[in-house]
Each structure stands twice: as C-alpha cells, then as structure tokens.
C-alpha cells in the first residue's frame, strides 16, 4: 500500500495539489504498489483536526483524477463518514479508518451500503491526547481485544466479515516499546483475529532512536527492517512511503517466509 498524503503537514512527505498527487500515484503503481492510500488529514500524534469540507477539498479531486487511470484499488484514509461516502462516490474502494470506528461509528453503515472494504486501525484517544493513553499491562492482548471490539462494531453496522482488515496501529497511542512489541508479536494478532492484517511502520517515530535520531524521510532502512519483520509474521499488507524500495523488501521477505 503506497501512502499518498495530500496534506500540507504530513510528517514524512506529502503531495499537495492534484497534478503532483496523480503523478505520484501513477509512479507508485508503476513501482509495484497494489493499493494507493489517499489521505487528506494528518493523524500523527499531536496533529490538529481538519474540517470535513477541507478534507473533501483535498481528496475528492485527486480521487476523481485517478479513477480509470490506475489498475489497483484506491483507499481513502479517513474516519469521517461524510468524507468516506464522497470518496467512495469518487472512486475509492477501501476506507482506512484510523479510529477503528471509535470516532464516527456511523462510518460502518456508509461502508456497508457501498459494499466497500474497511480497514480498522487500533488507537486510543485523539491525536492530541493519544500519548497519554499509551498505558498497557499487556499491549498485544489489549490491542487484540480492542481490535476485536472494532470488528464487532463493524459487523453490527452491516459490514461483511470478508471485507474487514485490521491494523494494530503502530505508533498510535503507543510508546516505542509498545510498537516494537506489537511488531514482534504480529503473528499472534493475525492468528487471534483471523482477518487480514495491515502493518504501517513506515518512517514512524518509534524507529528514530534505533536509526540514530534520523528525521522521518531518512528512516527507510529502518522501515525495511520493520517491513521484513511484518511479512515474516504473516502481515498481508504493508503501508509504505518508498514503494519501489519496499517492493523489493517484501518480495524477498515473502520468499523467506515461503521457504520457512
């Protein structure tokens, strides 16, 4: 999954403007992306909220411009029901909800009515408060249980189980040790939930200390290690910035797993 941020404040690179975003998406697909994830609101820790009309202004023209030009599914990275509905109308086939239906439960009905797929990510609190929510007795067990609750909420909202993907939310309401713990035990989450698992570790701050304090755009080597671990643990999708490089990483890790 290639990350296509159309925001002015992404932590690790963005493509504001329709032309730049479309060119970037086409390059991602040419580089081997299987999904392109379009986002119009940064949800990094501490990020300010964006109004729905501004988010729509950013993403809908990009989605419309991409429709028919790429041969892979387009995902919309939003937790807002109104944005998800407009994005689906504009060509998105997947809704990537970082809140796991905690912010707007009505999102489930929008996804169900459209027959779209739904990614449920684990988090706690909002971007402004999530750091204070990073308290766990057993991070893997608690993340698994909270994702199961999100799955149940989606099912209650009408979403078919075969259209649900889960994401343990590395870096969201988690300290670095929690993110490493989730990554190290991703296989347990895969086994417990019996749903496809997405891992989004690309360039995130939990990697910072291990790579010598490098800024986000300089963390691709660290990302490669995290992506390898995710694939070996059984993750089905990895969400990345550097598509061409990570396609190579995934293919080699897949071969290792296949021979294991």
% of the chain beyond a pLDDT of 70: 97
Nearest Cα to Cα of residue 84 among 61, 116, 54, 62 = 116
Q: Which uninterrupted H or E stretch holds 97?
A: strand 94-97
Task: Read off the pLDDT band of 8 (50, 70, 90).
Answer: confident
Summarised one tens digit per residue, pLDDT across range 69-124 is: 999 999 999 999 999 999 999 999 999 999 999 999 999 999 999 999 999 999 99
Domains in the chain (CATH in brackets) are: 75-258 (3.20.20.20)
Summarised one tens digit per residue, pLDDT across range 170-214 is: 999 999 999 999 999 999 999 999 999 999 999 999 999 999 999
Would you state the structure tokens that stand for residue 45, as one six-digit string? 């820790």
pLDDT for the residue 42: 82
Task: Read off the pLDDT band of 10 (50, 70, 90).
Answer: low
Active site residues: 204, 239
Summarised one tens digit per residue, pLDDT across range 28-67 is: 999 999 999 999 998 777 778 899 999 999 999 999 999 9
Nearest Cα to Cα of residue 258 among 234, 237, 227, 226 = 234
CB atoms within 10 A of CB 105: 15
CA torsion, points 184, 189, 191, 196, in degrees to nearest 10? -110
Task: Read off the pLDDT band of 222 (50, 70, 90).
Answer: very high
Which of the 8 DSSP states describes residue 225?
H
């Amino acid at each position: 999954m290639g990350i296509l941020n159309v925001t002015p404040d992404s932590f690790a690179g963005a493509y504001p403007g329709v032309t730049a975003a479309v060119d970037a998406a086409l390059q991602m697909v040419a580089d081997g992306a299987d999904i392109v994830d379009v986002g119009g609101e940064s949800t990094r820790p501490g990020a300010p909220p964006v109004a729905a009309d501004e988010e729509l202004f950013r993403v809908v023209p990009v989605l419309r411009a991409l429709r028919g030009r790429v041969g892979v599914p387009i995902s919309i990275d939003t937790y807002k029901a109104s944005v998800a509905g407009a994005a689906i109308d504009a060509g998105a086939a997947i809704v990537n909800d970082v809140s796991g239906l905690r912010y707007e439960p009505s999102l489930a009905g929008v996804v169900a009515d459209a027959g779209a797929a739904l990614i449920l990510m684990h988090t706690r609190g909002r971007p402004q408060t999530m750091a204070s929510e990073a308290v766990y007795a057993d991070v893997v067990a608690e993340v698994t249980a909270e994702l199961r609750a999100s799955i149940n909420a989606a099912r209650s909202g009408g979403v078919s189980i075969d259209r649900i993907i889960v994401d343990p939310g590395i870096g969201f309401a988690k300290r670095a040790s929690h993110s490493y713990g989730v990554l190290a035990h991703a296989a347990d989450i895969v086994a417990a939930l019996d749903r496809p698992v997405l891992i989004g570790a690309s360039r995130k701050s939990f990697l910072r200390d291990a790579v010598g304090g490098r800024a986000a755009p300089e963390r691709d080597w660290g990302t490669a290690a995290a992506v390898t671990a995710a694939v070996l643990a059984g993750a089905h999708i990895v969400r990345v910035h550097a598509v061409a490089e990570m396609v190579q990483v995934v293919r080699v890790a897949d071969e290792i797993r296949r021979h294991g």
